[in-house]
């Protein structure tokens, strides 16, 4: 399994932004106001994954109870899925922000939704950071990046 590549996250974010922006252009008038703390769930996931990463890192480095290989594999799978989810949600919230920010001077609901979108972007970015942290914590101590390996072998 390879580590998450930034281009994959950027692509997922762009798709999320475009889809949400286009949907809002068509449906915004029919939607209820966005809850101010709609993105907080992503922050809760980020905190849980970051704490899991700290505990797992210590165990992998040998300072705690040994880690089963399946546990590490599940943690990496969770981290990869969470980073992609975070990227999609950053894109989606940026799509919301891209639509409501220009409208906020004229539409009261859009002005309210700007704050919701900012909270969502920040929380989704925190999820990406925590997921990448968890993924990096699952490296074994002797694990090296492909760039550091001897090309002669």
How much is the mean pLDDT over the chain?
A: 88
More confident residue, 147 or 33: 33
Asked whether the predicted pLDDT for residue 133 surpasses 70, the reply is: yes
Measured between its terminal Cα atoms, the distance across the chain in Å is 20
Looking at the chain, the whole-number percentage of residues with pLDDT higher than 70 is 90
pLDDT at 1: 67
pTM here is 0.85
The model's pLDDT over 72-116, given as tens digits with 9 standing for 90+, comes to 889 999 999 999 999 999 999 999 999 999 988 888 888 989 999
Q: Which tens digit of pLDDT belongs to each residue from 5-24? A: 999 999 999 999 999 999 99
What is the three-class DSSP state of 15?
helix
Average pLDDT of the residues in 31-40: 90
* Distance between CA atoms of residues 122 and 102, nearest Å: 20
b/e 106-143 (16+ beta carbons within 10 angstroms → b): eeeebeebbebbbbbbebbbbbbebbbbbbebbbeeee
Q: What percent of the chain has pLDDT over 90?
A: 61
């Amino acid at each position: 399994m390879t580590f998450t590549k930034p281009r994959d996250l950027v692509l997922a974010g762009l798709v999320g932004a475009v889809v949400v922006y286009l949907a809002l252009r068509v449906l915004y008038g029919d939607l209820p106001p966005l809850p101010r703390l709609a993105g907080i769930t992503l922050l809760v996931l980020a905190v849980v994954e970051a704490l899991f990463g700290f505990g797992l890192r210590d165990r992998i480095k040998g300072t705690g109870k040994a880690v089963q290989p399946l546990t590490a594999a599940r943690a990496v799978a969770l981290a990869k899925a969470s980073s992609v989810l975070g990227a999609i949600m950053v894109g989606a919230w940026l799509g919301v922000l891209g639509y409501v920010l220009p409208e906020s001077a004229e539409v009261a609901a859009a002005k309210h939704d700007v704050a919701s979108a900012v909270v969502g972007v920040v929380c989704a970015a925190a999820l990406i950071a925590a997921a990448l942290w968890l993924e990096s914590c699952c490296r074994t101590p002797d694990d090296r990046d492909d760039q550091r390996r001897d090309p002669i072998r």
